[in-house]
Structure 1
């Protein structure tokens, strides 16, 4: 099941993608893809609907972030061994956690804004995990039962703000538009093994990232179990699980986004995003 949100920013409506790629409106059955709508029983009700009975949306509407009302946007840093090595950082003993402001979230094809004075804006394709059931003190064996689904994330980063402004990485991760989510929330039952997905990122048509979730240091189950010992995970919370090598910061010489550059990031079975970088006025 591929769920989505469409419409102008702040006015998105819930929908689903039918077997023919048609966009069907779900607003007659739920208010938004957020919170309680992601609980297992709610997802089961959506799955029981006949897509052909839902209104077909004509035209080419904007696709919004695939989850609304995100409470926590959590990110796991250096979760691919070869990415940690390209960044010149130690392999972590425990999942590295930082937060991305929810105000950074945008649609998968919205422009990415290069902040004023910034010249080191980078790309990071990541597997996103969307929580569907509250999780507190869960074991690895229990963890996957708390997942509503998966999505593509681009953890856009400004490296000087991340590494040189002191404090937490959050400073370089939370600028407006630095959190494209989607295009779809793919239900957990449609992703048999989240540790066997190919991730790619192209910049201006050049393939720069090409990895697999099989090389994660910490698996999705391990990440959820660990985070659930720190705080309760709630339906609609999003976890970005780390990026494979190929980011601009790790290149020699380093390479960063300029206005007009085009990013295309995708994950096998979860869809693709396309963002144009532009200066933030």
Structure 2
């Protein structure tokens, strides 16, 4: 056995509804500007030639129901409610039809963002890493198997902040469908089991403060919950 200089990180996992076995996470991809109204509120337009992506490290993964401190280095920490795809089979250079077969399930997710750092990076045409790839910023609820969720259509996606509705849209509002996203992304990476894809957020994003409680919902999926600790 190879000796390690220090203990290796424990596998990062997500519960699956109705099952004892956990879903092991390999990578986290995120889609930018996949709802036209959100792109508009960010002062941008959707790139309709091709979707674009950024990534988060495994340290970003956070289970639903967690209470976390307000992160360092920001004064403008934002929520973004999203549908998450969980893959269960390899997919590479796949057609949309073949990509559908690789989906293990879906979950509710929050892509938490240091908006001030992201905006500063945009202004200087620099990468978004410090604004997006933040510890505990990829919050995820339990996964529901794809066959139990059924086809993606006009399911409602919404988020409340301290009980007040802030985001409210339909999955059918996505510019790039789930299968189109997987087909395109699989032309850039050898996707496979354990890969999560956060598919973008609708309009209505905003800042959180210490003591806030977030609850995100998508029809047919378990909700995602997050508490921001009191300072």
Q: TM-score, normalised by structure 1?
A: 0.73
Contact 1:154-1:181 within 8 A present in 2 as well: yes
The answer for unaligned runs of 5 or more in structure 1 is 1-9, 19-23, 35-69, 249-255
Larger-Rg structure: 1
Any conservation in 1 of the 2:34–2:51 contact (CA below 8 Å)?
yes
Query: Equivalent residues in 2 for 1:74-89 (5 A)?
Result: 74-89=29-44
Residue of structure 1 equivalent to 2:6 = none
Q: Give the alignment of 1:16-165 within 5 angstroms.
A: 17-18=17-18, 26=20, 32-34=22-24, 70-93=25-48, 94-165=50-121
Match of 2:219 in 1: 268
Q: Which has the higher contact order (CA 8 A, sep 6+)?
A: 2
Regions of 4+ moved over 3 Å: 10-18
1:169 aligns with 2:128: yes
Aligned length: 219
Residues 212-223 of structure 1 mapped to structure 2, 5 A cutoff: 212-223=170-181
CA contact (8 A) 2:67 2:226 kept: yes
Offset at 1:11? Answer: 8.7
Aligned-pair CA distance for 1:117: 3.5
- Structure 2: gaps spanning 5 or more residues: 1-9
8 Å Cα contact 1:109-1:180 kept in structure 2 = no
**Are 1:226 and 2:181 an aligned pair?**
no
User: How big is the alpha-carbon RMSD for the aligned residues of Structure 1 and Structure 2?
Assistant: 2.2
In the alignment, is the contact (CA less than 8 A) between 2:158 and 2:169 conserved in 1? Answer: yes
* Structure 1 residues 120 and 138, CA gap change in structure 2 (3 angstroms): same
SS in 1 for 2:229: strand
Between Structure 1 and Structure 2, the one with more strand by share is 2
Residues in 1 aligned to 2:104 and 2:80: alpha-carbon distance in whole angstroms: 23
Separation in structure 1 between the aligned mates of residue 208 and residue 33 of structure 2, nearest angstrom: 21
Distance 2:106 2:16 in 1: 14
